[in-house]
Structure 1
Amino acid sequence: MYFFEWGCWKMQLEPEEARKDDHKLEKKLGIKRDLPFESEDDEEQVAARACVSQTPKARGPVYVFNDTVLEIRSGMFEAKRGLISILSCALIIFITTTTATATVHLARSINELLNKKIIPDIGLLLVLLLYFTIAAVFSWFYLKYGFRFTRLEMFTSRHLLIRFNRKTQQVYLHRPSYCGGIVTLPWKGVTSSGASEKTAIAGGIGVPLFLYWSPRVTGTLHPESAWVGKAGNNQAELRDEWEFIRRFMDEGPQGLPRPRITSHFPWPWQAFTPQFEGLTHYFRRASRTTKVGLLLICPAFLIIGLGHWLSLLLCWKPRWPKLIRQAGLPGKPIPPLTTLADRPPHIQERLRANAHLWAIRPGKRPEKKLRARPKKTESKSN
């Protein structure tokens, strides 16, 4: 499910008029936008170069692993896809069935009129007109407002991917165009939620490993980010995964445990097992009552799993551009880093207009001045 990436991309392109309500809400709640400083960004980048685990491990799913390339599934909530697919298919089936039923009866009435000279019943014609009207109205609303959400799970790339190329020292993100598209980023300058406790997110429970490139690194006036692999059960798992990626890029694959390679073919278990990613922590510590409750809602996991599999079946295998596929091979060119000029003109305009929202402040964050406590006046005794 690409809802998170789609929302982030839309937010980066959001016009100022659409942000007025957000500004009013922030003022009402007393929320102040706090932009990071260069020194803080530098510290996080330095932390990302340090060793954080002695047990590096790729939790996967890993699609490619060799001397040059490491490719892992990416995306926040990508493993939880399924519900949108079920709702979309139900609506598509309803529209198709309604249209087909009305068309069959209309064709039969026309055939009887031409061959047997039987005049169709007025009531039947009104019912058919109602069927066509309902199908047309639902189709219009779906194509105008609903299809954009369907494409977050169906009729699109089967997975979001992140590819690490050790020889070119680049990272490639594979996303649909409506989620930011395919971009080429430098390895140097990345920060990670697995690199330190300061950058950790929610203790690593229920979220994948998070990678981030600040606007200072991307050169596109906006930050780039990626959620890598499976959701974690604790911060230690994310540290192990980050250390695996760091060692691969900085030192090479020698000495790293070879990960299990996952196929892009949509096998059924690839749809059902992700439903439990990041939940082992809760299963182990859950009370007996909670475990019984989880057993009772197993049919819901089954339904979502079926929707997930349906989504995989109705998507296609993601394919990298030839330049990226050949990157790192002898005699092949190194892909250029993505810049603002690579975007369409209207996208460039929106990114320039919103650049101040993600800008990095120069220098170091000033120290907070301690407020002097007022001296207590001694009460005079009478």
Structure 2
Amino acid sequence: MFLIEWGFWQMARESEKARKAYEAEMTPAERRSTQDYYEGDLEEEIHFQQVSENPHTRGPVFSFNETFLEMRCGGSEEKRGLITLITLGVFPGIIFGIVIAVGSIWLDITKPGPISFLGVTLTIVLGLVSGAALYFYSKYGIKISRFEMLTSRHLLIRFNRLTQQVHLHRPKYCGGIVTFPWKTTGSTVLYPEDDSLSVGMRLGLIWHPSRTGLPHMEMALLGKQGQGGSELRDEWEFIRRYMEEGPHAVPRPRLSTQLPSPIQAFSAQFEGLGRFFRKSSWLFKLAMLMVWPAFVIIGTAHWVSLLLCWRPRWPKVIREAGLPGKPVPSPTTLSDYPPEIQERLLANADRWQLKPGKRPEKKPRKPRTPRAPKSST
């Protein structure tokens, strides 16, 4: 399910009208927070020092060798199947309504007989409603359905150790395939004090415009949901050591298949819940057992969505990157996008501007002096 990546890409190429409408709804505090990012903050987030003594990845990992490490991306994999479930319920209903309306009209033409006013009215209403539903679905709904149907089966990220590059594989409506130098990669899970904010989150990687030369921010959410910041730091350390030192510096991960596996479909619903489930009360565990049919239905829809998608394929230059005599892929630049997309990206470039220097330290608040009690007269 690529909804988060699509939304982030839409924000990066937002029209002037949509942006003004969005900013008009922001509070003054929200406006200040969007512009409160310093160069020093970015320097702290982009470093390649050791952050964990236990490099480990929870996957899914699709490839691991001397040349590259390939993993799954995607910000809401555990919710995949909901859109498929709705689509498989709505679209057949629309088609059924159109078939019934057209069939009734055809029978009235080919086999004339007594005409019922009620029958004609119902046929017209059914045809109009089904036709309108088909129109709106073809114009708006099919875009939503393609977040998890008739598209790439997964978002992928490939770390090429020999070329020292990172490649993202996404559909065009989520930003397309891009290439960045490894040393421009920032991580969101470097510090233990952020652990409380990382429960249920994925490892996030960022590429800031000040490092890539692009006018917009790029982001990737890797692997499974974490049950704490330490898990995510272990995963980042696994990637860092692989890229900095090589595959011998990390434990060999268990490889997953890119085929539409039902195990992946059903297990995705329980990502990040293991520790929480073990520590939860018996009442919560009983409630989870009572709603197991919902997990079965969503898991089945998740699997169907995987079956209705195709395995993503890298361009030839990326597949051959690192092989002897083969060219090194060029990092993504603004000129790689169509002219109309370039214009939109440049129009929103100010979103990512940094304030110079380091963030000023907050001044400690002065303790309030207690008020004198009012004298009663």
Give the TM-score, by structure 1 length.
0.89
Supply the distance in 1 between the matched residues of 2:115 and 2:325 (Cα, whole angstroms): 74
Contact 1:158 1:316 in 2 (8 A): yes
Find 1:142's aligned residue among 111, 128, 137: 137
1:17-40 per-position Cα deviation (integer Å, ceiling 9, x unaligned):
323344344345575133322222
Alpha carbons of 1:201 and 1:175: their partners in 2 closer, same or farther (altered >3 Å)?
farther
Seq. identity, %? 47
1:334 and 2:328 correspond: yes
1:2 aligned partner = 2
Q: Hey, what does 1:356 align to over in structure 2?
A: 350
SS in 1 for 2:62: strand
CA distance in 2, matches of 1:373, 1:81: 51
1:86 maps to 85
Counterpart-to-counterpart distance in 2, 1:133 and 1:260 = 54
1:40 corresponds to: 41
Distance in 2 between the 1:112 and 1:201 partners? Answer: 73
Q: Is the 8 A contact 2:45 2:188 kept in 1?
A: no
Q: 1:143 to 1:172 in 2, by over 3 A?
A: same
Matched, 1:313 2:307: yes
Q: Retained in 1: the 8 A contact 2:242–2:249?
A: no
How far residue 66 of structure 1 moved from its aligned partner, in angstroms, is: 0.8
Matched, 1:259 2:259: no
> Contact 1:56 / 1:243 at 8 angstroms: preserved in 2?
yes
CA RMSD in angstroms, aligned pairs only: 2.4
Indicate the residue corresponding to 2:268 in structure 1. Answer: 274
Q: Secondary structure of the equivalent of 2:192? A: coil
Which of these residues, 237, 242, 266, is aligned with residue 236 of structure 2? 242
Distance 1:213 1:25 in 2: 28
Deviation larger for 8-17 or 221-230? 8-17
Cα separation, 2, equivalents of 1:268 and 1:106: 43
Asked whether the equivalents of residues 193 and 201 of structure 1 are also in contact (C-alpha less than 8 Å), the reply is no
Alignment of 1:1-382 (within 5 A): 1-27=1-27, 31-33=31-33, 34-46=35-47, 49-112=48-111, 124-197=119-192, 200=194, 202-368=196-362
| Closer, same or farther: CA 77–132 of 1 in aligned 2, 3 Å | same
8 Å contact from structure 2 (residues 265, 300) kept in 1: yes
Report the Cα distance in structure 2 between the residues aligned to 1:342 and 1:201, rounded to whole angstroms: 38
The CA distance in 1 between the partners of 2:164 and 2:100, in whole Å, is: 58
- Contact 1:35/1:359, CA 8 A, preserved across alignment: no
User: Are the structure 2 counterparts of residues 374 and 246 from structure 1 closer, same or farther at C-alpha, using a change threshold of 3 Å?
Assistant: closer
SS of equivalent residue, structure 2 residue 232: helix
Whole-Å Cα distance in 1 between the matches of residues 124 and 21 of structure 2?
Answer: 43
Q: Which residue in 2 is equivalent to 1:379?
A: none
1:21 and 1:238 map into 2 onto residues whose CA distance is 36
> Aligned equivalents of 2:304 and 2:100: distance in 1?
25
- 35-44 vs 60-69, which deviates more? 35-44
Q: Distance in 2 between matches of 1:16 and 1:100?
A: 43
- One-letter amino acid matched to 1:9: W
Sort the Cα spacing of 1:327 and 1:107 in 2 relative to 1 into closer, same or farther, 3 A: same
Q: Distance in 2 between matches of 1:345 and 1:240?
A: 41
Asked if structure 1 preserves the Cα contact closer than 8 Å seen for 2:61 and 2:255, the reply is: yes
Asked whether the equivalents of residues 194 and 238 of structure 1 are also in contact (C-alpha less than 8 Å), the reply is yes
CA contact (8 A) 1:74 1:226 kept: yes
Match of 1:380 in 2: none
Is the alpha carbon distance of 1:107 and 1:42 closer, same or farther for their aligned partners in structure 2, counting shifts above 3 Å? Answer: same
- Residues 132 and 206 of structure 1, relative CA distance in 2, 3 Å threshold: same
The alpha-carbon deviation at position 96 of structure 1 amounts to 1.4
**Contact between 2:164 and 2:181, CA under 8 Å: does it hold in 1?**
yes
What is the count of residue pairs matched by the alignment?
370
Verify the 8 A CA contact 1:186 1:217 in the aligned structure 2: no
Paired residue secondary structure (1:144) = helix
Report deviation, 1:122. 6.1
For the 8 Å contact 1:50–1:195, the answer to whether it is kept is no
Separation of aligned partners in 2, 1:140 and 1:202? 46
* SS of structure 2 residue aligned to 1:299: helix
Kindly indicate whether the alpha-carbon contact (under 8 Å) linking 1:215 and 1:360 is maintained by their aligned counterparts in 2.
no
Q: Secondary structure at the match of 1:32?
A: helix
Letter in 2 for 1:234: G
Instruction: Spell out, residue by residue over 1:97-156, the C-alpha distance to the aligned partner (whole angstroms, 9 max, x if none).
Output: 12223334444444435xxxx676665454433332222110011122222211111111
| Cα distance in 2, alignment partners of residues 52 and 154 from structure 1 | 38
Paired amino acid for 1:332: K
Q: Deviations over 1:192-212 (max 9, x none)?
A: 1232236x4654211111111
Q: Unpaired runs of 5+ in structure 2?
A: 371-377
Residue 184 of structure 2: SS of its match in structure 1?
Answer: coil
